[in-house]
């Protein structure tokens, strides 16, 4: 077993535990509040850790970064956490990860970076 295997197992355990912790937290607080609180805390920690954060705000991209962050919270995790009120956390995790390529492709089509073909549709269905 190499160090890559150990790191993969560790990452899988951490990722799996976060879904269980999220499910437990949703029993106590509303989903949108939990999502907002989680990402506000993470954002604050990232601001401390990241050394090049001043470039984001100096280049005039602050509004875009804030808007993107809000979309991630509300459009992605807010609804995901709401759904976790009704399904097991493992199902929510699998659905979340499997829908990422679908939504990214939809955004690429929306912003005209990709043209949909039957080949793309087949790959997404698969």
Lowest mean pLDDT among 75-79, 90-94, 117-121: 75-79
pLDDT confidence of residue 57: 65
Name the percent of the chain in helix, strand, coil, to the closest 5.
Answer: 80, 0, 20
* Cα–Cα nearest to 18, from 38, 33, 37: 38
Distance CA 81, CA 75 (A): 11
Q: What is the pLDDT of residues 53-64, one digit of tens each?
A: 666 666 667 777
Angle between helices 89-110 and 118-125 (to 10 degrees): 170
pLDDT confidence of residue 52: 64
Task: Please state the pTM of the whole predicted model.
Answer: 0.50
Q: What is the pLDDT of residues 12-33, one digit of tens each?
A: 887 778 778 888 888 898 888 8
CA 84 to chain centre: 14
pLDDT band, very low/low/confident/very high, at 83 (cuts 50, 70, 90): confident
């Amino acid at each position: 077993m190499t160090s890559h295997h150990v790191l993969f197992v560790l990452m899988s355990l951490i990722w799996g535990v976060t879904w269980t912790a999220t499910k437990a937290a949703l029993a106590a607080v509303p989903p949108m509040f939990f999502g907002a609180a989680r990402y506000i805390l993470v954002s604050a920690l990232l601001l401390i850790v990241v050394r090049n954060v001043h470039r984001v705000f100096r280049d005039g991209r602050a509004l875009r970064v804030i808007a993107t962050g809000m979309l991630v919270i509300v459009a992605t995790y807010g609804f995901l956490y709401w759904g976790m009120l009704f399904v097991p956390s493992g199902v929510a995790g699998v659905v979340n990860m499997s829908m990422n390529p679908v939504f990214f492709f939809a955004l690429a089509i929306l912003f005209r970076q990709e043209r949909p073909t039957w080949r793309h549709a087949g790959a997404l269905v698969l």
